[in-house]
Amino acid sequence: MRHFLISLIAATTCATVLSACNDNNAPKNTPAATAAPTLNDATSAKAAETARQEVIANAREKADKSTPLASYQPLDSGNQLMYSYLALAGLPIDYREIAAKVSVDYARSNDEFQKSDLLKALQPRIDAAVSAAKGNRYFKLVLNSPVDKYDFDKKGFPLNSSVWESGSYRYFNDNSNYHLSFTNGDGFHYLSNVPEDAARQIESLRSVYNGLDLVVYCFAQGADPASRTVKAEIVKIAVVDRKGNVLAQQ
């Protein structure tokens, strides 16, 4: 009897060992746990997005730098920006919406026959304005309070953040539905390499309210329908006094 119990225990132990061995050889088609994202993955994603943005930037039409500055048209109206957007976006024009922006009579009228007659008269004017905007893509925009205090480390003046800050845009109060943003603003954080005499003059005028303007010469490259934004390339910037004298530029 004792010999039988010893044999039974031995057999049970062996079966347990064999069972454990069989578990280690389980089928290998069990789904593996998803690996946590690594720093390399994040870096690769960032690099891919950077590359995508570079492709988009390179695909944009570039300004002709030989275009005389005198031929840049003043940009000072939201309706002007609207026509530029319509010319660049290439989308069907909503004449009723545009008419309400350019005609007080149309916007205020509640008489549908009157509105219909006004729209028939306005439509050719709208088409002509959009057509003209297609051929006028060089603008100059005047900004007040253009620079911050002189930075001795950078040897220049920090520029208005609306020029270079990512995601920033400008608009006009007469039609705030359309915006302007710059595609190469990151290269214009500072007005740099300003001669000392000019820097002293700019700093002196900067301390006086409304003493300076920043003129941004830009080229309308394209339009973003998602935000009704005209995308523009900065060609040149100039700091001028109230008489229009250029004190520094780049």
Q: Is 179's pLDDT higher than 70?
A: yes
Q: Is the pLDDT of residue 132 over 80?
A: yes
Render pLDDT for 136-159 as a digit per residue (tens, 0 to 9): 999 999 998 788 999 988 888 999
Determine, yes or no, domain membership for 159: yes
> Of 36, 133, 146, which Cα lies nearest the Cα of 80?
133
* pLDDT tens for each residue of 79-99: 999 999 999 999 999 999 999
Average pLDDT of 156-163?
A: 88
Q: Cβ contacts of residue 225 below 8 Å, gap of 6+? A: 89, 91
Residue 16 within any structural domain of the chain: no
pLDDT at 22: 42
Task: Say which residue the tokens 């250029």 belong to.
Answer: 246
For the chain, the domain total comes to 1
Q: Which two tokens stand for residue 193?
A: 């390499």
Retrieve residue 119's tokens.
């729209």
In a domain, 53, yes or no: no
**Residues sharing a CB contact under 8 Å with residue 193, sequence separation 6 or more, in sequence order:** 155, 156, 250
Q: What pTM value is reported for the model?
A: 0.74
Residue 5 has pLDDT above 80, yes or no: no
d(CA 162, CA 127): 31
For position 236, what pLDDT does the model report? 96
Q: What was the pLDDT predicted at 166?
A: 81
Q: Residue 219's domain spans which residues?
A: 69-249
Tokens at 15, concatenated: 């079966």
